[in-house]
Amino acid sequence: MFAKEIVCPRCQKKFSLGKVLNLCSCGSPLLVRYDLRKIKRAVKKSDVKSRPATLWRYREFLPLRAEKNRVSLGEGFTPLIDAKRLASEFHIKKVWIKDEAQNPTGSFKDRGLSVAISMAKELGIKKVAIPSAGNAGGSLSAYAARAGMEAYVFMPQDTPRANQTEAARYGANLTLVDGLVNDCGRLIAERKSAEGWFDLSTLKEPYRVEGKKTMGLEIAEQLGWKLPDVIIYPTGGGTGLIGMWKGFSELEEIGWIGSKRPRMVSVQADGCAPIVHAYSEGRDRAEPWINARTIASGLRVPQAVGDFLMLQVIRESKGTALSVSDPEMVAEIDRAGRLEGLFFCPEGGAGVAALRRLAQRGWVKASERVLIFNTASGLKYIDALAG
C-alpha cells in the first residue's frame, strides 16, 4: 500500500485512509497523497512495461489496498495514434490522438469509475449515485454491476439516448431530470442521506481523479517518458486535467520524468465556458454558467467544484483556455474522420478545433509536439450527429 493520506489542497487538512469521504469541510475536493519514496524503491519503469495493458499497471500510484477489491473491465492503456495527416493539415511537427473511445464502455469515464468503484467496494459501500451529462452514467452503471452494487444515475432528459440506454441495460436505476447536470447533482445531495447512497459526483470524492490521472502516466510511458509540448483537453468537470497534472508531479518526484511540463489547454464550448471566462478575466473561481447549451454533452457543465484547481493547472503550465462553437466541433469530426479514420465525439472535435485556432494564432508553433484527446466514441452521439 503506497497511499498514505488524503489531503485538502485548499486548507491542507489531512484525513486518514479507510474513511468514506466526499468534500472537505471547506468545500474543496480531496486528493490522495502517496509515499513517493516508497514507490521509487518498490518499482522501476521496466517493471511497469512488462505488466498487462490496463490502467492497473500503475497500481503503486493508485489507492486500492487489496487486489481482491479491484473492479475492472480492462480499462486504460488506450492507443496513442500518430496523426500524421492532421499534423500536416495544421503545419505542426507532431500531433498525437489519445483515443479514449477504446475503453470498455467507449469513453474515458471508465478510468475514474473503475478506481472509484474499486475503492467503494473496499470501503464496504453498497449503493452509489452519480449525476451525469452522459458517459459517466453509463460507465458507473457498468462498474457497479460488475461489483454487485446498486447504481442510481441522474441524467438530464436530453442526454444522448445511447447513454440512457446503456445505463438502463446495465441495471442502474435511471432518473431523467428536467434540467442540467448540476440539477441532477442537487437532487442526489438532497436524497443521499435518506437513501444510503455514496455520492460519486465529479471531484466530490477522492478517487475518480486517481483513475483519470493514469492518462498522464500512460502518455509519459507511451512517449518514452518525455512529455509533449502541448496537451489540449476538453474540459467539463476537469477531473482529467487535474489528474494528469498530479500524475506528472508524482512521476517527476520519483525520477521517471524531468521538470519539463506540457502547456495545458482547456477547451470548452461557446455555449458553456465558465473556465474560459474565469481564466480570461484573471479570476481564481468560475461563475456558474447560465443557460448552458452545446451538442457536446460532456462539456455542458455549468459549474465545477474543482474550478480553482483547473485554473491553477492552466496557469502553472503557462497554458490557456478557449471555447469553440458547435459547428466547429462537427466540422472537425468530419475532417478527422476523413484524415485519420476515427469517429470523434463532439468533445474530441472541440479539441481539434482548438488546435486549429491555436495553430493559426501561432500559440502552437510549427516545431511543437501536440497531444489531443478523443474522449469517447462518436457512436454515442449518433442521434445528435446524424443530421
Report pLDDT for 376: 97
Query: Which distant-in-sequence residues (6+ apart) come within 8 Å of 49 by Cβ?
Result: 221
- Identify the bridge partners of residue 365 per DSSP, sorted by sequence position: none
Domain locations in the chain?
80-107+208-385
CB 150 within 8 A of CB 173: yes
- Identify the bridge partners of residue 370 per DSSP, sorted by sequence position: 95, 230
- Cα(348)–Cα(354) distance, integer angstroms: 10
In the β-sheet with 173-177, what is the strand arrangement from edge to edge?
Answer: 173-177, 150-156, 127-131, 198-199
How many CA within 13 A on the CB side of residue 293? 2
CB 163 within 8 A of CB 138: yes
Q: Grid coordinates in use for 248? A: 506528472
Query: Which distant-in-sequence residues (6+ apart) come within 8 Å of 204 by Cβ?
Result: 22, 23, 29, 305
Q: What is the pLDDT along the chain (387 residues), one digit of tens a residue?
A: 899 999 999 999 999 998 999 999 999 999 999 999 999 999 999 999 999 999 999 999 999 999 999 999 999 999 999 999 999 999 999 999 999 999 999 999 999 999 999 999 999 999 999 999 889 999 999 999 999 999 999 999 999 999 999 999 999 999 999 999 999 999 999 999 999 999 999 999 999 999 999 999 999 999 999 999 999 999 999 999 999 999 999 999 999 999 999 999 999 999 999 999 999 999 999 999 999 999 999 999 999 999 999 999 999 999 999 999 999 999 999 999 999 999 999 999 999 999 999 999 999 999 999 999 999 999 999 988 876
3-class DSSP state of 79: coil
- Identify the bridge partners of residue 267 per DSSP, sorted by sequence position: 234, 322
Distance set, CA 130 to CA 67, 293, 310, 317 (Å):
25, 21, 21, 31
State the angle between helix axes of 109-122 and 135-147 in degrees (0 to 180), rounded to the nearest 10: 40
- Cα(314)–Cα(254) distance, integer angstroms: 23
CB 59 within 8 A of CB 115: no
Ramachandran angles phi, psi of 155, nearest 5°: -130, 150
- Cα(385)–Cα(387) distance, integer angstroms: 6
This prediction has a pTM of 0.97
Q: Grid coordinates in use for 18? A: 479507510
Q: Grid coordinates in use for 154? A: 441522474
3-class DSSP state of 110: helix
CB 241 within 8 A of CB 209: no
| Fold of the 80-107+208-385 domain | Rossmann fold (3.40.50)
- Cα(45)–Cα(26) distance, integer angstroms: 38
Q: Grid coordinates in use for 151? A: 447504481
